[in-house]
Structure 1
Amino acid sequence: MPKRAALLAAASLLGGLLAVPAATAAAGTPEACSAADADIYRPPDSPTAAPGAVVTCRKVDSLPMVIGGPPLNAWKVQYGSTDGRGRPVSVVGTVVVPQKPWTGPGERPLVAFVPGTLGIGPQCAFSKQLAGQYQDAYEGPNIAALLNAGYAVAATDGQGYMDGQVHPYASGVEAGHATLDMARAASRVPGTGVSPDAKIGIWGYSEGGSGSLWAAQLARSYAPGLNVVGSASGGVPADLKQVASNLDGQFFAGFLMDAFIGLSATHPDMPFDDLLNDSGRKAVKDAESLCAVGTVSRFPGARIEQYTKDGLTLDQMYALHGSDGATWGDIVAANKLGAGVGTPGSGVRYEIGFPVLQYRGLADEVIPAGMAADTRRAYCAAGITTQWTAYLGDHLTVDPQSIGDVVRWLGDRFEGRSANGNC
């Protein structure tokens, strides 16, 4: 696809798609969610909230970007989570519940939704996009489909989208924690009616595919109280080194810029700022001020070496050490999905006791086909029930194309139907 046509397609798809603790869940009534919108995005000076605890919340009148969905109730919520080093942080997300009563068996199911790439600045937060405060990349149709099926949705913004922060793009543990803690917080927001015992599905595509699969890997150890019954992950950047090599110098090179900036935010002890030349410092400033479409249009064809004083290539960057002896290569490799996975009782690092769905486009220009196949094989070899689906589409078109299939797959998990997988 020519670059101009690809950019227009991206814009069409993506564009079409704390300081006041008084208003907290502790009040125990729907009226308690009355924080000012600005207070939702103001991080506490010293976060102390437990994972999944509500810090403050706000009832939202409407979500104009959830086009085609049923009448709904929605809340923005700031909640507690932990970063990759186990330190408390605050995160913002959105809880959305259909107004129509749930008539299915048991409690209304909940889907923990992880948005795809939005950009790394706080202006790009998914909650702001759903509320129509900023319109660039959003997955409102995905949310609408879940609501039309009767499910509640807990959509995390992800860490690093509050005032003055930078989103840790490509950092797997942070994404997994934020997703699972958003699911925990949903039942604690007053007025949602979400049960803490609800069956939970996890779903995400692209960056959200990585986040949802990290949430699946971390669920048993980090949030064992959640009743997770399945996780769907599409267009997954499972091996960041392979993805980086595929993006460097190519049309979607802006995603590589976001990844290095995001990982530098979670690893401030690693060399980064001092490596940059004037073009690099300008690139960082631009990346933090743009959202998804703007990032793509700002960096097409960019190569990482043009932004460093010494013209460092990816491999040369990977070899650089931080103060603790770890290299950039070590940090990037630590975010590889599918390593150390297994079934409950296997004694491996990431035990998964529910089925997973993985899917991608056959013409995906962002996610290498071999890498996607490797992740699937790793899950199959570990004995995890794995469903694999391929679509006739590229990275941008598969997300909307797969919505119906994913919602049905999650519905089967909620209804207790067996999942045989197709390894």
Structure 2
Amino acid sequence: MSVMNESFAAKFPPGPPPNLIRALFGAMQQNPLDYFSAMAQKYGDVSGMRIGNFRSLFVNHPDLIEDVLVNNARKFHKGRILQANKYLFGEGLLTSEGDFWLRQRRLSQPAFHRTRINAYAATMAEYTEQLVSTWQDGEERDIHEEMMQLALRIVGKTLFDADVTQDAKEVGETLDLLLRMAANFGRTVLVPLWVPTPRNLRAKLGVHRLEKVIYRIISARRASGRDTGDLLSILLQVRDEDGTRMSDRQLRDETITLFLAGHETTANTLSWSWWLLAQNPAVEKKFHEELDGVLGGRIPTVEDLPKLNYLNHVLTESLRLYPTAWGMARLAAEEHEIAGYPVHPGYGVAFAQWVVHRDPRWYDAPLEFRPERWENGLAKRLPRFAYFPFGGGPRQCIGNTFALMEASVVLATIGQKFRFRLVPGHKVTPLASITLRPKDGIQVKLETRK
């Protein structure tokens, strides 16, 4: 896979033949993870995709990815999949563009300052302890569902000072529905929401359910007049240049984006981490030994986290193999060039962390779960975008530090008390939607650590 394409005269890179039906119903739709992996193997660092009159470049070299996400970020907007999901995210941080996005990002940033995030650690540990207290040795549970409900409660309390325990099940089921639907990329892009298909009607109903929760939280906070210093307090106090406050719709867009993304990403990371640990006894043993040595059975604090080196390597390796953001896309707003190929306005540019993170040029035995690979400074030797689970550039995930700390606290708290054994016969399959989640959950048997 060579980064330099010798045929600079070519106007569009090589790739599969254009076929609208195949794009909607074929291999790219049925298993995008395998599809893009095969594209990288067959066509190299830059390949071309044509779906109808839409053209997109698929890019796999870290230097070329950095060129788009960092060096020329202003030339690109978010991709068509996220734009098509604005019915869910509105004009929130995930989907908005330009000066409006920059303003919203600056307003939200203080809620994710490291000092404030560190203060959330106690809440994260407390809520995890509450969950674990309901578990019994020998029980079977869907660990993905457990992590989703836990992460939802944590994000509700820390960012919005709201108890969403009563909503956790409904929100989880609704999000599961919406993400399964969003996994159908072709239909998401090509069938507008206003077309009254059964799929679109289900999507609208799901969004309405989520909005009820969000608007209830906003209304309760407005009525109380409390300023708790959390994200919602910050957004409620903001005034535009003309002195007006954010409308409920603006608040809804920012809140629903962070409410959903803030727990979905962490829950998936935790779920894949538990799944990988359960399949690798030697790694799991070393993970437990570190917890016992550093914590000795007590609840972890933020001061403990830098001492849990092996836990950090487990998380890093889990995010390498199963990045919750498995792929990204941008839409060209200006003329550009990638490896000699012109990129015209309206062209798409796609990258897949799933593919780059498993590239043997950067990782030995790339399909193996080896937390030890990170012990001797590998991260510093890698090209910058050989590992980018949270994206990069100015649009990098605002909550990456929040997500990593939460995942660390939850792993350390649960790992001291339980190990998980996979239920035989239950197949775990990644679902590549907006995020990478286990399609049918992860069934485990709880085993109390003696």
TM-score range relative to shorter protein: under 0.3
Q: Which has the higher helix share?
A: 2
Q: Which has the higher strand share?
A: 1
TM-score by length of 1: 0.26
Q: Which structure has the higher relative contact order (CA within 8 Å, separation 6+)? A: 2
TM-score by length of 2: 0.25
